A and B are shown apart, each in its own frame.
Chain A
Amino acid sequence: MMKNWFKSGTPWVWLNAAAISICLIMVIGLVGLIAVRGMVHFWPVDIYQFQYQDGKGEKTIVGEWVDTVILTAAQAKEAGYPILNNADHLEQRLIKTGNRDLTGMDFRWIDAQYIKNEQTPEDLIKIERREWGNFYGRLKAVKENGKIIAEGDAAYPEVLPRIDHARYLYEQIEHLQKKEIGAINYALERLRLKQRRLELEGALDEQAKQEIAREKAEYQQSYQKFRSQIAKLNQAIMRDSLVAETGNGQTVEIPLKKVVNLTRPNAMSIGQKTAEYLRQFYAFVTEDPREANTEGGIFPAIFGTILMVMLMAVLVTPFGVIAAVYMREYASQGFITRVIRIAVNNLAGVPSIVYGVFGLGFFVYFLGGNIDELFYPEAAPAPVFGTPGLLWASLTLALLTLPVVIVSTEEGLSRIPKSVREGSLALGATKLETLWRIVLPMSSPAMMTGLILAVARAAGEVAPLMLVGVVKLAPTLPLDGNYPFLHLERKFMHLGFHIYDVGFQSPNVEAARPLVYATSLLLIMVIIGLNLFAINVRNSLRERYKALEN
């Protein structure tokens, strides 16, 4: 019976089916894992208050309950944790306690067996700060110029508008410092380079010198103006502060300048939590990172990724299409073309890091070095294009995705029925006209598919970018209001690299982990979206050609 069953091969078919099921489970599980972990990051979770008594005495621990791990007794023993009452397992909870300025750490593991009781009192507050991470505790009082103006329950409603005001002032200061003073610094640097250039050319006469000195003085003057404005704002922003108490009764005073946001998650309704969730998400995609990228938003990374990918698309499309058109329409379909086709196909399989190495050696050091020598002698010894940057990253990725575009376009060209071409030629159109008016428009969805796939690939690629232009923290965006607006030589931030850097290079991996999940989710959504779109375009295209052929 059993033997016959095995002989029929049915179990093998089932096992084969299991293989594809496992693959599906893995994909869906992985995307689900990232989706869940990425999405909960913004949800305002309850703040717990644990009465905790271990061998060292009793204390109150306040914080967010992040994770739970259950160890078997033996594993606990290996790790050196004592187990009470001969329990067969040990539950450990990871609590985000914040208050890094006071305790030196953001997280702590606690043993569930020592917890006397746990509560979620409504008056617990969470303060997101510009430095030292979150604060958890209770709000005690609000101060203005050092004098208490509200205490106890009255403090919470009093502090919120003041935080908004302080944030408004802070944004003004930021704007002045980054935009206005940044522009002045940029202009001064350009002046310096201009002077150096004239000097090298031997054209630095008295008149030019005076001109430069005059301009410099002008800039200095407006710089002074902004500085005094900033000083005034700084004074205004230092007016208010709040007094808060940690779980253990330690009182701290926090100037509102340092406060990004203050919430009482335990007192929030579902609706309020949703609003807070959306606000947090919005802040995540629009704000700059804080605290070595482990907190705040990822706007520069999103911006850098999009800009780089767009540049790459502009570079790769014409070349990819021309190469495909050449191979399919112009080259004679002989041995050479076959070899070329194999080579192009192979390039898609060449490791991306090899492209990175090529980009660094050829584009950055060779091309960039020569460009610097020819066009930017005044900047020496500081490199302009002779260092990794946006242009080189885009070029490298264009080269990397070239095979994708070529292969996809070629496929599109090959699917166009011969009859269509012949009809056009028979009506007296030249080859170019046939190509331009008939073939290319018909195959444009195929090119589109190729381009979308290329963009999706480029958006997720990190290894080559690490060599040719991505940095963990770029001081300025590659696109800004200073002439020539698009700064191709600048380094930029990238979502994929951000994930790598924050997840693996940051000093506070535990604190940054939710942020990495959120970034991953964003990246994955973009890439899956692009791919699904490309697949759809391709499928509808195939249907259309089938109809044409019949």
Chain B
Amino acid sequence: MSEIIEKHMTEKQHPMASPGYQKWRLMKDKLAAYGVTGGGLGVIVAIVLIFFYLLYVVYPLFVAPSAEPVKTYSVPVVASGKTVFLSMEEQNEIGARFTDTGHIVFFRIADGQPIKEEHIPLAENQTITSFNHGRLDKGVFAYGLSDGSVIVVKTHYKVTYPDDVRLITPEIQFPLGKQPIQLDTQSNPLTLLTLRLGEDESTIVAATADGRLMLSHFIREESLFSDEGDFERTDTALDIDASQIAFMLLDKEQRDLYLANRQGDMMVFDLTDKTAPKFLDKQHVSNGGEITAMEFLNGELSVLIGNSKGLLSQWSLVKDEHNHRTFEQIRAFKVSDHPIVQISPEQRRKGVMVADNTGLVAIYHTTAERELIKQTLPAAISALSLSPRANAFIAQTIDGKIHFWHVDNEHPEVSWKSIWGKVWYESYPKPEYIWQSSSSSNDFEPKYSLTPLVFGTLKAAFYAMLLAVPLALMGAAYTAYFMAPEMRKLVKPTVEIMEALPTVILGFLAGLWLAPFVELHLLSIFSVFIVIPLAVLCFSWCWQYLPKSLRQSIPAGWEAAILIPVIILATWFAFIISPVFETWFFDGNIKMWMKANWGIGFDQRNALVVGIAMGFAVIPTIFSIAEDAIFSVPKHLTVGSLALGATPWQTMIRVVLLTASPGIFSAVMIGLGRAVGETMIVLMATGNTPVMDLSIFQGMRTLAANIAVEMPEAELDSTHYRVLFLAALVLFVFTFVFNTLAELVRQNLRNKYSSL
């Protein structure tokens, strides 16, 4: 035999048996092994990538901001006078130094080289007695003169692109005319002034050396031909002694005037009627020291006050329930133990930079209550300017040097507290949890509290689970243990189809069909929850008294099929009787009745609708896993129990459910994971208002729906964008943890079964 084979092989060697081919086969095998391993690992890496990419986008939110010195140089053109104010232009290329002699020195920020020098036109007898800035982002400044007049200047940076290179040219303008405006008719020197210019009206308030407070209001007159000079002017004198006043601020609406003396007595006036200023409130604001600096926070709704003990406090006019505004402290930061001498607010966010008299500078974000940066300069600071984009600052120290620093501070708005805690936002009467992410205006205070969204997510999931868990688990127990195999073969695919239904369709039906339906038949919906169980119990009670022949015509395990008409009839019955009950007990309208008696409002797209629709979506998930767990309980356990005389129900409860309980637990966990992450249903079936209200008749906004709504509009790499990624990360981690837990439990269960 073997000889024959040998002969056969030697005579006619198959080409595939050649050693070269064998080598090729083995090589192919090896290559495939590498290929598959590489590919498989690649796919798994891609999966892991999701998590790390989310983390990568979120990470910058939590990076500590930093600042580093770039250059130090001597104050440019010392001869032009002492610096009273420094300002920077948008691109951090050009700075402006305002001096006490009325000169404006523009210089290159990078090296301090002077570019241009302007000066305000002064007559022989005029000297500068006071200086203040208007809105920082508009570049408006005003000089009060010794003869009671005011001159207003505006810096303007013209940007051109000769040869595709950016060129910025500074210039000054006189928005109220080049001629000084005579504010005080008695020609006393102006010791203090504040102003705001608007499109159509402008207001200047000034204190004179003899202690009077003058207000001038200018309304631009309609003129087709000229931009300047045509103003209708109203003068008013405020009836207070201005000699003590050291700080004066007027908000951009030209409505609220804040006056304070060094001792900390703050007075607020309402200037809505410019001819009759109204006293609003008086507070002591110094926090146990003297006021050393005072500025507006961006948006000019809050006043920042620095005192001699190194405390920076934020104050704002807060409306009480009678719509009366009082001046209250919102929050405070301890900067150092030394007097705060400079406050320079950010121009686009709610951040602020301060300096004390030892050379310490610090940047804070008010909403987030974060201390972002703290650095020390070699000498005390006499002037400070944070750039418009808040990515650099220049500071002049008393030794005549200007320090130019870069600041890296992209996302100051986010802190643990601003995301999860109650925050006292501007114009709100008290600290609250609010999500309100975007607005067109720079002055807007973004409100990034994820708490109401997480609350909404959990609320939606809770109501969904309330419906889904009992239905799914009871259905699973019956299907796995009592149902006839033939019927089970029909039920399982139906539930799988239920799982496959697109959520957009469920959401659409919930929003456009179910929500109006529930609104119209509210009581009927609730009565269904009572009528159906009662009807089923009644029917089953009657069932045992039916003639035996009828009962036996239906095989065991088909109860669910018989119940279908019963339940439909019961539902129909509930809808018939509910209007009657509504007329008897609820004056014919349960919504009005609830509103009148319990104060419960009704929102058409509410948690009830979401609960039903999302419950529907979650049932199949829970059902499939629970049914699987119950069905695979080893048969000998149940048979043993039955043999010992337990009824099928007792066996079910005491043996089967107990054995399968880890599987049931994991089913509920996975169902919860699905409910938490569901997007389309909540997006369409709720009003998407981020309220924190547990009521079943109110809507909510969930994390997932919020992402779907806001993500397309979020600017790339902005704080808003990253916070939305954070929301996605929260969802990811939440579901991942729950699913892993469920999966581990399930695997353990499987091992247990196999050992049984």
Q: Tell whether, in the assembled complex, residue A16 and residue B704 are in contact, meaning their CB atoms are under 8 Å apart.
A: no
Among B540, B589, B616, B677, which residue has its beta carbon within 8 angstroms of that of A353?
Answer: B677
For A366, give the chain B residue with the smallest CB separation: B53
Per-residue CB contact flags for chain A residues 66-85 toward chain B (1 = under 8 Å, else 0) read 00010111110110000000
Known contacts A326-B39, A462-B680, A503-B684; decide if A346 and B736 are in contact (CB<8 Å). yes
CB distance from B301 to the nearest CB of A (A): 33
CA distance A376 to B208 in the complex (A): 65
CA distance A344 to B503 in the complex (A): 22
Task: Kindly specify which of B396-404, B446-454, B643-651 makes contact with the partner chain.
Answer: B643-651
Known contacts A11-B537, A21-B564, A463-B679; decide if A72 and B623 are in contact (CB<8 Å). no
In this complex, how many residues of chain A approach chain B with their Cβ under 8 Å: the count is 101
Known contacts A349-B674, A430-B26; decide if A330 and B512 are in contact (CB<8 Å). no
Task: Give the chain A neighbours of B49 by CB distance below 8 A.
Answer: 362
Q: Tell whether, in the assembled complex, residue B711 and residue A21 are in contact, meaning their CB atoms are under 8 Å apart.
A: no
For A24, give the chain B residue with the smallest CB separation: B494
CA distance A331 to B53 in the complex (A): 26
Q: Tell whether, in the assembled complex, residue B708 and residue A503 are in contact, meaning their CB atoms are under 8 Å apart.
A: no
- Does B744 count as interface, using CB distance less than 8 angstroms? yes
Q: Tell whether, in the assembled complex, residue A16 and residue B502 are in contact, meaning their CB atoms are under 8 Å apart.
A: no
Per-residue CB contact flags for chain A residues 326-357 toward chain B (1 = under 8 Å, else 0) read 11011100000010101111110111111111
Among A319, A330, A349, which residue has its beta carbon within 8 angstroms of that of B670?
Answer: A349
CA distance A18 to B528 in the complex (A): 13
Q: Tell whether, in the assembled complex, residue B563 and residue A500 are in contact, meaning their CB atoms are under 8 Å apart.
A: no
CB distance from A498 to the nearest CB of B (A): 9
CA distance A77 to B582 in the complex (A): 14
Q: Tell whether, in the assembled complex, residue B743 and residue A345 are in contact, meaning their CB atoms are under 8 Å apart.
A: yes
- Does B482 count as interface, using CB distance less than 8 angstroms? yes
- Does B546 count as interface, using CB distance less than 8 angstroms? no
Q: Tell whether, in the assembled complex, residue B511 and residue A11 are in contact, meaning their CB atoms are under 8 Å apart.
A: no
Q: Tell whether, in the assembled complex, residue B732 and residue A524 are in contact, meaning their CB atoms are under 8 Å apart.
A: no
CA distance A157 to B676 in the complex (A): 60
12 A-B residue pairs with Cβ-Cβ distance under 8 Å, sorted by A, are: A13-B482, A16-B477, A20-B474, A23-B471, A331-B37, A342-B747, A343-B47, A349-B736, A357-B711, A460-B500, A462-B679, A504-B684
- Does A381 count as interface, using CB distance less than 8 angstroms? no
Q: Tell whether, in the assembled complex, residue B478 and residue A20 are in contact, meaning their CB atoms are under 8 Å apart.
A: yes
- Does A17 count as interface, using CB distance less than 8 angstroms? yes
- Does B216 count as interface, using CB distance less than 8 angstroms? no
Among B479, B506, B520, B591, which residue has its beta carbon within 8 angstroms of that of A20?
Answer: B479
- Does B740 count as interface, using CB distance less than 8 angstroms? yes
- Does A390 count as interface, using CB distance less than 8 angstroms? no
Q: Tell whether, in the assembled complex, residue A503 and residue B50 are in contact, meaning their CB atoms are under 8 Å apart.
A: no
CA distance A445 to B306 in the complex (A): 75
- Does B735 count as interface, using CB distance less than 8 angstroms? yes
For A329, give the chain B residue with the smallest CB separation: B36
User: SS class of chain B's interface: helix, strand, loop or mixed?
Assistant: helix
CB distance from B649 to the nearest CB of A (A): 2
Q: Tell whether, in the assembled complex, residue A18 and residue B567 are in contact, meaning their CB atoms are under 8 Å apart.
A: yes
In this complex, how many residues of chain B approach chain A with their Cβ under 8 Å: the count is 117
- Does B498 count as interface, using CB distance less than 8 angstroms? yes
- Does B134 count as interface, using CB distance less than 8 angstroms? no
- Does B639 count as interface, using CB distance less than 8 angstroms? no
Task: Kindly specify which of A132-140, A526-534, A542-550 makes contact with the partner chain.
Answer: A526-534
Known contacts A358-B54, A402-B47; decide if A74 and B588 are in contact (CB<8 Å). yes
Among A351, A467, A503, A523, which residue has its beta carbon within 8 angstroms of that of B677?
Answer: A351
Among A14, A20, A466, which residue has its beta carbon within 8 angstroms of that of B491?
Answer: A20
- Does A365 count as interface, using CB distance less than 8 angstroms? yes
Within 8 A of A (CB), among B496-552: 496-498, 500-509, 511-513, 520, 532-533, 536-537, 539-541, 543-544
Q: Tell whether, in the assembled complex, residue A399 and residue B50 are in contact, meaning their CB atoms are under 8 Å apart.
A: yes
For B679, give the chain A residue with the smallest CB separation: A463
Q: Tell whether, in the assembled complex, residue A18 and residue B648 are in contact, meaning their CB atoms are under 8 Å apart.
A: no
CB distance from B573 to the nearest CB of A (A): 15
Q: Tell whether, in the assembled complex, residue A527 and residue B711 are in contact, meaning their CB atoms are under 8 Å apart.
A: no
- Does B237 count as interface, using CB distance less than 8 angstroms? no
- Does A301 count as interface, using CB distance less than 8 angstroms? no
- Does A8 count as interface, using CB distance less than 8 angstroms? yes
Among A33, A326, A406, A463, which residue has its beta carbon within 8 angstroms of that of B704?
Answer: A463
Known contacts A13-B649, A20-B479, A432-B29; decide if A351 and B589 are in contact (CB<8 Å). no
Task: Give the chain B neighbours of A361 by CB distance below 8 A.
Answer: 53-54, 57, 725
Per-residue CB contact flags for chain B residues 454-469 toward chain A (1 = under 8 Å, else 0) read 0000000000000000
CA distance A345 to B670 in the complex (A): 11
- Does A58 count as interface, using CB distance less than 8 angstroms? no
- Does A34 count as interface, using CB distance less than 8 angstroms? yes
Q: Tell whether, in the assembled complex, residue A9 and residue B649 are in contact, meaning their CB atoms are under 8 Å apart.
A: yes
- Does A433 count as interface, using CB distance less than 8 angstroms? yes
- Does A516 count as interface, using CB distance less than 8 angstroms? yes
